[in-house]
Amino acid sequence: MRSLVYFDMRVWLSVFGALLVSGSPAVAGVLGNAGSPLKQDLATGTGLASGKGVYGPPSPKTVSTDLANASWQDPPSEVSQVLLDVVRSTSASHPAARAAQAQFRAATSDVSAAQWQRFPTLSTQLSYGNLSQQSQSYSIAPTVTVDMPLWAGGKIDATLNRTRAQQWAAFMALNETLQVLALNVSQTYFDILRLSRRESLLGESIREHEQLVETMERRVRQEVSPFSDLELAQSRLAQIRQEADIMRAQRLASQRFFIELAGNEAFDFTSFPSTPPEVVAYEWSGVENEALAYDPSLRRQSALADVAKAEGDMTKASIFPQVSAQYSHNDLFGSRVGLVVKLQSVGGLSQFSAVESARLRLEGAIDQIAGVQRQVRQQVSNDVIENDAALARLKNSSVAAATAGRIKDSYMRQFISGRRSWLDVMNSLRESVNAQLNEVDAIVSASASAVRIAIRTGAWRPFKDPSSE
């Protein structure tokens, strides 16, 4: 009888192994493949926050997260080829991105490990002692046990849900890291453009002031103009040089930060465009909703709420007994097959208190979602306000720059004819360069804010949307 049961058990194990290797639909359903209830669209990230009660991504194969594939396709028109190349290289090589990718791969391995909880557990035990009543000799008796879980109160499902939610959170953390890097790279890029252009305009103003100083020196030597006019010109020249030095220091600091982001000490900044990009006016209606639907930090927080929900389910499941089918064999009892009911208590009634703790953690995670939503709306609103204000400033500053340039030339001619004072000439020159600087600031601000909005709303993103595949 014992040998017959042993033979049947071996046959059952062989059939089960064949099903596993061949990819049987029954086993595939257990593993959570396409037909499993645990299947979930990676693109939508639906979970507790959306009220659908589904957890995490279905499989690490749903979307490629290789950093080399972070192509950042379809950039806005304000993004030059230089900026696009640096964003791509930074996404592929920055330590923060590589660390986030490692965390995602670890979470993916956790999902694979959790799926094996539905499979039998093989264990061995060695016993030493007097195993026979007819003999006084002592010997070692091995015991082989195969335990197949049948019902665990939902603990296995909850564990799978938790690992899938953690995988989704890790994937969103990777996207969040790439988003932050792209925001930093693009903002630093536009800062360098703005500071370089301002430095160039101040350099032109310095040359104009130097010419005026030389002119005034000749007039003072000829006793045509007072010495105070020369001092005024020299003072204005010193002020412009001081501003140019400040612009140069700020540009070098921004370039240093850009080099660290790009990870390229030999980066050639002469490849930057000499002029800011052309400004494009956009219609920003609905961008807040787009940002809320895409924002990786918000979806990561939603996944963390799913994790808290699954951990609560695991805590509840630990209160119930676990039922499993068990087969064991040793030399004393032979082969045995039966049902095992196992109930384990930890620290008295602490498990019931743990259920309440899990519920409170879930409430805190849900409240965090609302906080992140406010932050996302504020960030996008600030960018839209900056963009609209920059476009309005650009209209006025362009007119002011053109007008100030004509006034400067006119005042210089009138000064020579004696109809304008030297102070009028110096003030017109100052107003002209200020108008040009304001125009540059408006152009760069409009372009930088438009790129930030594209990144925040997902219009320009690192990976292709899996839902379109």
> Measured between alpha carbons, how far apart are the two ends of the chain, in Å?
57
What is the third-level CATH fold of 80-120+158-320+348-461? Outer membrane efflux proteins (OEP) (1.20.1600)
Q: Which of 33-42, 98-107, 266-275, 296-305 has the lowest mean pLDDT?
A: 33-42
Structure confidence by residue, pLDDT tens digits, 442-455: 999 999 999 999 99
Query: What is the rounded distance in angstroms from the CA atom of residue 289 to the CA atom of residue 278?
Result: 27
Structure confidence by residue, pLDDT tens digits, 75-114: 998 999 999 999 999 999 899 999 999 999 999 999 988 8
**18 Cβ contact partners less than 8 Å away, ≥ 6 residues apart:** none
Higher-confidence residue: 8 or 117? 117
Q: Which of 117-121, 171-175, 284-288 has the lowest mean pLDDT?
A: 117-121
Sign, Cα dihedral of 45, 49, 50, 55: positive
pLDDT classification of 43: cutoffs 50, 70, 90: very low
Structure confidence by residue, pLDDT tens digits, 212-232: 999 999 989 988 889 999 999
Mean pLDDT, the chain, rounded, equals 81
Query: What is the rounded distance in angstroms from the CA atom of residue 57 to the CA atom of residue 48?
Result: 13
pLDDT classification of 243: cutoffs 50, 70, 90: very high
Compute the average pLDDT of residues 138-149: 80
- Tell me what pLDDT residue 94 has: 92
Give the 3-state secondary structure of residue 335. Answer: strand
- Tell me what pLDDT residue 400 has: 87
CA distance readout (Å), 354 to 48, 316, 322? 20, 8, 19
Does this model's pTM top 0.85?
no
Q: Which of 32-36, 130-134, 182-186, 242-246 has the lowest mean pLDDT?
A: 32-36
Q: Which residues pair with 127 in a beta bridge?
A: 141
- Tell me what pLDDT residue 377 has: 95
Compute the average pLDDT of residues 10-16: 38
- pLDDT at 192 > cutoff 70: yes
Give the β-pairing of 322-330 and 334-342.
antiparallel
- Tell me what pLDDT residue 357 has: 84
Q: Which of 20-24, 44-48, 271-275 has the lowest mean pLDDT?
A: 20-24
Structure confidence by residue, pLDDT tens digits, 384-403: 999 999 999 998 888 888 88
Query: What is the rounded distance in angstroms from the CA atom of residue 103 to the CA atom of residue 174?
Result: 8
Give the 3-state secondary structure of residue 151. Answer: strand
